[in-house]
Each structure stands twice: as C-alpha cells, then as structure tokens.
Amino acid sequence: MSSCRREPNFKNCRPAARRVIADTAGTDYPLAPMTGLQPSGGSVGGVRFLGARGAYARLLARGAGLLMVTLGLYRFWLMTDVRRFLWSNTEIDGETLEYAGTPLELLIGFLVAVALLVPVYAGFFIAALDLGVFGEMTGAIAFAGLAVLGQYAIYRARRYRLTRTVFRGLRFTQTGSAWVYAFRAVGWWIVTALTFGLAYPFQLASLERYKMRHTRYGTLPGRFAGTGFGLMWRGLPMWLVVMAPLALAVGAFVEVVDWSALTDAVTQTGDDVMGRVEGTNPALGEVVVFAMLMTGLSAVMAALLYPVFQAVVLRWWTSGLRFGAIEARSKLRIRHVYGAYMRFLWWGGLFTIALGVLAIPLLILIGVVAGKLPDSGAGDIAATLIGLGGYVVAALGYSTIYRATVLMSLWQLGAEALQLSGLDLLERVEAAGQASSPLGEGLADALNVGGY
Amino acid sequence: MTDASHPMTAGAGIFFDGRVSARRDVRVTLGPRTLQIDDAAGRLLAEWPYDEIESLSAPDTVLRLGRHGNATLERLEIFDPVFAAAVDARATQVDRSGGLQHRQRLAVVGLSVIAVASLLVVAWLGVPALAARIAPLLPVAVERKLGAAVDLQVRNALDTQHAGAAFECGNGAGQAAARAALGRLTGRLETAAALSMPLKFTIVHRKEANAFAIPGGQIYVFEGLIDTARDADELAGVLAHEIGHVAHRDGTRAVLQGAGLSFMFGMLLGDFVGGGAVVLAAKSVLKSSYSRDVEAAADVYGVGLMQKAGGNGAALAAILTRIGGATEPGMKILRDHPDTKARVAVIERLAHGIAGQAMLSPAEWSALRGICKG
C-alpha cells in the first residue's frame, strides 16, 4: 500500500486508499477495515454495520423525551434521524447507504394524508347516522376500506423510502400499482386468517415477489427468489407446537360437552345459569380448566419461539433478495436473535428497577399532596397527572429499549449475516427514476401502519 | 462557515457521478470559488461552487457531499478529517460541527411546543365555540338521526344484563297508573318548554340516581333517581334540567365536540407509545371543562322551566344536595356535575324562594314511584 504515497494521483490505491490518506494526515482516524471487499473473490462481498449501539440508544432516548414534550409531533424528525443512522451505517461492499429523505417531507406527507382522510372519516361518520342496512354496515365497510388503504399506504411508503435511498450515487425506485398490491395483501390476509396462519409463508412470498419485481436499483431490476414452501418447511414445526395445544383444547370441548343441553341451560330464563350448566354438563369445569392450561401453554410456546420465527423469516427473506446478477445469502444465527431479546430483558429489567426506585418518592409525594388538599379535587388531579406521567415514561421507556435492542439488532444481524455475490456488477449500473411523493408515508402514519 | 484561510487545498476522495454506479478515486482541489474533482488521469470530472455544496447523511467518519438542487445524485466522499475540515471551512452550507443542525432542531422543538400549545387552546376554547355555533344550525331531522345512532350505543352500554325490552320500566299492565302520572308530569314540563322537537322519556332499571339527555329529545331517567326523589318536584327539577340540555342541543354539541377532539388528538397529536393515555386524559379534562358551563346553563333553564310549569324551582337544589352528599365513587353525576355546592347556591338564588304548587298530587306521585316495581 505504500505505493499510494508515492503516486500523486492515487492510482492503484484501491481498496485501501482511505487508510493511507488517514496515515498521511497523521491522525488516529477510526477507519473501517475493508472486510466487505475480498480481493481474491472480487465479486463476493458482505454487508457491515458500522453504527454504535450507544449512539443509537442516545438518539432514541433523546427522541423519546422530545416526543413526550411535543405530544408526538417530533416523530417526523425522530423517524428521519433513525433512518439516517441505520442507512448511513449500513455498508455494502465498502460503500454506505444514504437516506436522502427529510423530516419536512414526512410532515407535509402527513398533513396531505390528513386532509385526504378527513372527508373519508366524515363520510363514515355521516353514513353511520343512517339507520337501516347501510348504516349498520358502516363499521364493517369502514374497517375493510381502511384495511385496503393501510396496505396501499404501506406500498407507497416503501416507494418513498426506496427513492430516498441512495447508494453509490444512484437511487432505488419502485414501480407497480399500490392499489393492486393493497387488494392482493388484503386478500392474502383473509386466506391466512382462514387457514389459521398456514398460508402465511405463501402470503409473504407472493407479496415480496410483487414488491421486488417492481423494485430497481438504478436500471438493475430486482426480484425475489424465496418460495412459500421454503419458509413453510422451516415454520411448520413452530406452527404445530403453538397450534397443537389449542387444537387439543377445542377437541376436548367437542368431545366432552353436551351442546344441546348447554344451549338449553344458557337460554333458559332465571338466575342460576351456572347451576343449570353444571347440572347438565358435569365435566364442563374440568374442560374449561384444561382449555385454559392449553391456551396458556400455547401462549408460552409462541412467546419462546417468537425470536426463532423472526430469525427464520428474516433469513429466508434476505436470502431471497436479488438485483440483476447480485444475489444475497444470509447466514443469520438463531442464537444471535435470542441474544438481542436477552439484551432487551436485561435493559428492560434495569429500567423497571429504576422506575421502581423513582416511584417510591413519587408515591410519597402523592400522599403528601393528597393529604394537604382534602376534598378540593386538586389532590386527585395531581395524583392522576403524576400517575399519567409515570405511565407515559414507562411505556415510552420500554418501547425505546425495545427499539434500541431488538429492532436495532435485527437490522444489524440481518445485514451482517448477508453474503453478496455478483458484486462486480456494481461498477456499471446506470441511474434511473425520480424521487416519489411522501404521501404514502403520511397515510401510513395517519393510519398507524408505519414501519422504520 | 467560510474561512478560506485553511491551509490544506488538495486531498483525496471517492466520487460517484450520479449516472453510473462506478466508484472513482479522485483528487479534490479547493480553488478560490469552486471545488474541483479530477480523476486519476487528471481529467476534470466536476466543478462545484462552494455555496452549492451540501453535506449529506453519512457515517461519522465520512464527509459526504452533494450539489444542492442537482437532479443527478453526484456524490463526493472525503475520509481525511483534516481535508474534510478544509472543505467545511470553505463551503457555506457544510457544517460538520453540527451547530447549525442543533439550532434547527431547537427551533423545531420550540415550534412543536408552540403548535401543541395552540392546538390545546383551540381544543379548550375553539372546539366548544365551534360546536355551539354548528349545533343550532343542524336540522331537527339530522339531530334525530344522530340521536337514534347514539341511542343504540347508550342502550348497549346501560343494559348490562341485555334484558332488551324488559330493561325499560312501566311497560307492564299493572303500571298504567304510574305511566299516566309520568305522562302528566312530563306533559306539564313539555307544554311549558314548547320545544320544536317532541321529547321522549324512558325510565330504565338502573340503581344510580341519574338522568341524561341524548340528541333528538330522548331523555333517560334511572330508577335510582325516582327512588331518591322525595317528591314529584324534585324529579321534575332534574327532568327540567335535562330538558334544558335538549333545548340547548347539548347532546349534539357534545357529539360535535367529541368528533373535534378525536380529530385533534387522535390524528394530529398523541401518536406515540403511551400517547393514548395522554390523549384520553386530555380529552376527559377538556370534556369536563366544557360540561361546567353547559350544566350551569341547563340549571338556569331548569329553574325557569319549573317556575313556568308552576312547580318549585328550588327542588333541583334539594335533590342535588342529597345526591352530591351521598355520591358513590365512579358515579356519573359527580364526574359530569362539578362543584355541586356552587350549583346549589345558584339554583336557590334563581328560585327566589317561590315554592309553587306540587307538580303531582300525592296519589299520583306514589303511583309514579311504583313505575319500576312489580
């Protein structure tokens, strides 16, 4: 690498030009070792995450405080800061991503979305006043309409994020119809619900294929190579472990309970419903206890397996990403995802202790305040305000810790587990596409379906 | 910052021309007014005026530059902190220290706090004022529709046993006398009130001493209120107060206020984890602040109506004192009717001690008391 110093115009300096420049400057400059570039392979590279957990946690904590002060208005700025941090610290083949969106765009997108939604909500409100069939259906129609609109917003928001993602001087773009996506997504959700989640892998694969088929990096077309069966094969054991206790509970009800007698007992008038139920169905009590135990077991299993589920989906998803000849392969380890949850439990536990220690003087304060202001109601109000503040601090605190541990780790682990091949293509992709409007983000925010 | 005196005038960088994704090692020269980017062969790739250079989102160790307002995404990356400082010193919009951004953020936070404060003022004063202007403009037909929709919800919320028709009192054959007495009492009030919409009184099986009006002239009276009342005038006093709500279209106003608050707090504010509780608290505080004036106005109306109907205007004060003194926790009348003592004083002053005549004969009153029995 010493050749670089001799050559004034930096010929042959790659890939370690940066290090050399820093050396000549004589500073202790924290430089990234170029593990992303493997000189032997040339076209094979990895993804690295450069961000420090502490810096991200500070960013989130400060944002949480400002969210509280501004009753949530700061969220556009916090969201942009978060994305700037995550994007700019994600290094693909030695070059970091750039998030080019601004908070004002998000704010404007949100305001436009609100302006569009107000007439919609007003329409539902007026329609709900109409008695008759239509009036009674308003709730269902509104739910269905907002479900479709939510998926529409998710697709448009993805387009906004992609067109604000710049890599090596080129932006990502997304074509395709958000309405087509929205109806597909809602249709898939219905199928998934009807199959008790068994169709979920196929839903993910289908929707991801649609998204990636319409995604481009410059002129380089994306596609998704993952299949529903590929995910199902890994997810099925988890599905069985969670669903089996529930199936047993339902089976027990069907087997033991005398339904006609039970219906009679419940529909008969009179006070002693439970007495009659017990008379006609002596085993009902045991079945209910069994069902509750089984439901509890299912919930515990779901909670324990959730990190595995997340790891499996994340690995399957990232392994299916393709841009032209560039292929991704993920080596994500499940135990690393568990580590992220352990960190959440650890920091969450410390936060709980801190809250508990702080709550004692606050409770004493409430007692003093309430004692000094009898009957006037001011004591009640003060106590309510303190309680409310405590609740908000706790809720925001746990959510911030979750974002700083689990969500951050999922991003980092998902990125760092990636092996990319075909990277020599990156030297000759051409630019294409324009930045899109932030309306999708605004809609997603107004409908509470936003992501990162 | 502009400080052209920085000694370093050339350095290395990485350049993307925004047309092709190729990475190029370049030599960057800081001229008097522009920054020049040359490739390894010495060809000029780009020349950016200092006042058009902006710094872009990048890791802490990289200065990433672009040209402001440029349609193509040309990017120049500088890794040497000393040279980065030299660029920073010349380019007016580049601000590596973060001081400018810090000031912008402070302004954002300041403006957001002002926005929240102004929204709260609008919620506190503007929403009730607007609702009060709009409510009288709504045609009676619309209000009745609104009332029917509210009625469905109210019935579901009150009728916890889901008894359906049996939830209402006075439908039995043995209660004809009670129904007649109630009809006489409400008829006197309704004649005196002479409202543009007909009133409908429904007595329901609930133990609390309470009554309320919903849009469209529907008034619910709880069994507990009839049990608490010592004479017909006390019951009539409360009914007159509720008729006041109907006359002032308070139910419609409350619906409009609720919609306004939901819009402001549901959509514009409170969209963060834990924000739901803040929104709920703010809504209930604001609603109780609205209700203070509304209740006072209904009291004034009620006293006037009782006197017009020939009854005792102060009877409302008597029953209020009793209910207020024996409130059970969580009772609606306490939450919605603040400062009972002050209200009682106002009512008694308005009534001028005119006792009037009894609204019902003792026989009628005892018949009415049995409306929920048997």
How far is residue A128's CA from residue A323's CA, in Å, rounded to a whole number?
48
Give the Å distances, CA to CA, from B180 to A10, B1, B105, B312, B365: 104, 88, 70, 21, 11
Residue tagged 């991003």 (tokens)? A411
Work out whether the CA dihedral A198, A200, A203, A208 comes out positive or negative.
negative
In a domain, B114, yes or no: no
Which of B21, B145, B274 is closest, CB to CB, to A427?
A: B21
Residue A319 sits at the chain B interface (C-beta within 8 Å): no
What is the distance of C-alpha B57 from the center of its chain?
A: 38
Most confident of A117-131, A211-225, B111-125, B158-172: A211-225
pLDDT bucket at A181, cuts 50 / 70 / 90: very high
Per the model's pLDDT, the better-predicted residue between A286 and A11 turns out to be: A286
Chain B environment of A168 (Cβ under 8 Å): 16, 21-23, 75
Provide the residue type at A317 as one letter.
W
In a domain, B3, yes or no: no
| Least-confidence region, from A189-193, A252-256, A348-352, B27-31 | A252-256
Chain B environment of A430 (Cβ under 8 Å): 19-21
Which of A10, A118, A135 is closest, CB to CB, to B27?
A: A10
Quick one: pLDDT at residue A4? Answer: 39
Chain A environment of B270 (Cβ under 8 Å): 71-72
**Nearest CA among B11, B16, B36, B21 for reference residue B76:** B16
* CB burial string B170-181: b at 16+ within 10 A, e below: beeeebeebbeb
In a domain, A338, yes or no: no
Quick one: pLDDT at residue A287? Answer: 84
Tell me how many domains chain B contains.
2
| Average pLDDT in chain A | 83
The rounded percent of chain A whose pLDDT value lies above 90 is 55
Q: Are residues B137 and B59 in the same domain?
A: no
Q: Are residues B234 and B283 in the same domain?
A: yes
Select the residue from A24, A73, A92, A355 to test the B interface by mutation, using most B Cβ atoms within 10 A: A73
In a domain, A416, yes or no: no
Query: What is the least distance, in Å, from the CA of B304 to any CA of chain A?
Result: 30
Q: Which of residues 135-194 of A touch B (CB under 8 A)?
A: 135, 166-171
Cβ pair B48, B34 in contact under 8 A = yes
Chain B environment of A395 (Cβ under 8 Å): 273-274, 277
In a domain, B108, yes or no: no
Which of B142, B269, B281 is closest, CB to CB, to A73?
A: B269
In a domain, B229, yes or no: yes
Q: Are residues B72 and B194 in the same domain?
A: no
Chain A residue whose CA is closest to B144: A129
Can you tell me the mean pLDDT for A203-228? 96
| Average pLDDT in chain B | 84
Q: Are residues A116 and A200 in the same domain?
A: yes
How far is residue A81's CA from residue A75's CA, in Å, rounded to a whole number?
10
Which of A67, A129, A170 is closest, CB to CB, to B146?
A: A129
Work out whether the CA dihedral A211, A214, A217, A223 comes out positive or negative.
positive
> How many H helices and E strands in chain B?
13, 10
Q: Are residues B129 and B176 in the same domain?
A: yes
How far is residue A47's CA from residue A96's CA, in Å, rounded to a whole number?
9
Q: Are residues A242 and A199 in the same domain?
A: no
Q: Are residues A107 and A214 in the same domain?
A: yes
How far is residue B223's CA from residue B373's CA, in Å, rounded to a whole number?
10
Q: Are residues B35 and B133 in the same domain?
A: no
Beta bridge partners of A421: A327
Q: Are residues B310 and B363 in the same domain?
A: yes
Q: Are residues A269 and A209 in the same domain?
A: no
Name the strand (E) or helix (H) holding B324: helix B315-325
Which of A14, A388, A399 is closest, CB to CB, to B278?
A: A388
Chain B environment of A59 (Cβ under 8 Å): none
Can you tell me the mean pLDDT for A320-343? 94
Per the model's pLDDT, the better-predicted residue between A233 and B272 turns out to be: A233
Which of B61, B109, B278 is closest, CB to CB, to A29?
A: B61
Name the strand (E) or helix (H) holding A224: strand A220-224
Q: Are residues A253 and A188 in the same domain?
A: no
* Domain hosting residue A301, numbered range: 238-307
Q: State yes or no: pLDDT of A102 exceeds 60.
A: yes
Cβ pair A344, A338 in contact under 8 A = no
Q: Are residues B74 and B143 in the same domain?
A: no
How far is residue B178's CA from residue B161's CA, in Å, rounded to a whole number?
24
In a domain, A440, yes or no: yes
Provide the residue type at B241 as one letter.
H
Q: How many CB pairs under 8 A join A and B?
A: 187
Residue A435 sits at the chain B interface (C-beta within 8 Å): no
Distant-in-sequence, close-in-space partners of B332: CB < 8 Å, separation ≥ 6 = B208, B210, B212
Query: ipTM, 2 decimals?
Result: 0.79
- C-beta atoms of A72 and B108 within 8 A: no
In a domain, A166, yes or no: yes
Chain B environment of A14 (Cβ under 8 Å): 25
Which of B38, B116, B277 is closest, CB to CB, to A73?
A: B116
Chain A environment of B259 (Cβ under 8 Å): 125
How far is residue A247's CA from residue A298's CA, in Å, rounded to a whole number?
10
In a domain, A362, yes or no: no
pTM for this model (two decimals)? 0.81
Chain A environment of B113 (Cβ under 8 Å): 69-70
Quick one: pLDDT at residue A269? Answer: 61
Chain A environment of B59 (Cβ under 8 Å): 50-51, 88-89, 91, 96
- C-beta atoms of A129 and B16 within 8 A: no
In a domain, A283, yes or no: yes
How far is residue A392's CA from residue B277's CA, in Å, rounded to a whole number?
7
Tokens encoding A261: 């007698």
Beta bridge partners of B168: B204
Residue tagged 């800061």 (tokens)? A81
In a domain, B123, yes or no: yes
Whether the upstream peptide bond of residue A15 has omega within 30° of 0, thus cis, is yes
Q: Are residues A198 and A264 in the same domain?
A: no
How far is residue B189's CA from residue B238's CA, in Å, rounded to a whole number?
11
Residue A27 sits at the chain B interface (C-beta within 8 Å): yes
How many Cα neighbours within 13 Å face the side chain of B156?
6
Cβ pair B3, B90 in contact under 8 A = yes
In a domain, B112, yes or no: no
The rounded percent of chain A whose pLDDT value lies above 70 is 81
How far is residue B156's CA from residue B154's CA, in Å, rounded to a whole number?
5
**Over the stretch B126-180, which tens digit does the pLDDT of each residue have?**
888 888 888 888 888 888 888 888 888 888 888 777 666 678 888 877 788 888 9
How far is residue A56's CA from residue A240's CA, in Å, rounded to a whole number?
37
Find the length of chain B. Answer: 374
pLDDT bucket at B56, cuts 50 / 70 / 90: very high
Q: Are residues B171 and B312 in the same domain?
A: yes
Q: Are residues B145 and B231 in the same domain?
A: yes
- C-beta atoms of A384 and B269 within 8 A: no
Quick one: pLDDT at residue A217? Answer: 95
SS3 A27: coil
Q: Are residues A190 and A132 in the same domain?
A: yes
Query: What is the least distance, in Å, from the CA of B53 to any CA of chain A?
Result: 15
Q: Are residues A184 and A245 in the same domain?
A: no
Work out whether the CA dihedral B98, B100, B103, B108 comes out positive or negative.
negative
Name the strand (E) or helix (H) holding A327: strand A326-330
Find the length of chain A. Answer: 452
Give the Å distances, CA to CA, from A445 to A107, B268, B340: 10, 10, 43
Which of A393, A395, A431 is closest, CB to CB, to B18?
A: A431
How far is residue A261's CA from residue A258's CA, in Å, rounded to a whole number?
6
Q: Are residues B75 and B141 in the same domain?
A: no
Cβ pair A78, A58 in contact under 8 A = no
Tell me how many domains chain A contains.
3
Distant-in-sequence, close-in-space partners of B171: CB < 8 Å, separation ≥ 6 = B165
Cβ pair A101, A113 in contact under 8 A = no
The residue among B96, B130, B156 that closes a domain is B96
The residue among B96, B111, B136 that closes a domain is B96
Cβ pair B178, B118 in contact under 8 A = no
Q: Are residues B222 and B359 in the same domain?
A: yes
* Domain hosting residue B249, numbered range: 119-369
Query: What is the least distance, in Å, from the CA of A19 to any CA of chain B?
Result: 9
Quick one: pLDDT at residue B260? Answer: 84
Q: Which of residues 405-434 of A touch B (CB under 8 A)?
A: 426-431
In a domain, A53, yes or no: no
In a domain, A163, yes or no: yes
Can you tell me the mean pLDDT for A219-245? 94
Residue B341 CB burial class (10 angstroms; 0-12, 13-18, ≥19): exposed
Chain A environment of B115 (Cβ under 8 Å): 70, 73
The rounded percent of chain B whose pLDDT value lies above 70 is 92
**Nearest CA among B251, B200, B204, B198 for reference residue B224:** B204
Residue A125 sits at the chain B interface (C-beta within 8 Å): yes
Q: Are residues A116 and A213 in the same domain?
A: yes
Sheet order of strands, B63-67 included: B44-49, B34-38, B24-30, B10-16, B75-78, B63-67, B53-56
- C-beta atoms of B112 and A70 within 8 A: yes
Select the residue from B17, B20, B55, B261 to test the A interface by mutation, using most A Cβ atoms within 10 A: B20
SS3 A452: coil
Give the Å distances, CA to CA, from B331 to B162, B324, B334, B336: 21, 10, 6, 9
Chain B environment of A399 (Cβ under 8 Å): 273-274
* CATH code at position B77: 2.30.29.30
In a domain, B203, yes or no: yes
Q: Are residues B70 and B150 in the same domain?
A: no
The residue among A246, A275, A307 that closes a domain is A307
Quick one: pLDDT at residue A7? Answer: 36
The residue among B96, B128, B147 that closes a domain is B96
- C-beta atoms of B21 and A426 within 8 A: yes
Chain A environment of B57 (Cβ under 8 Å): 84, 87-88, 98-100
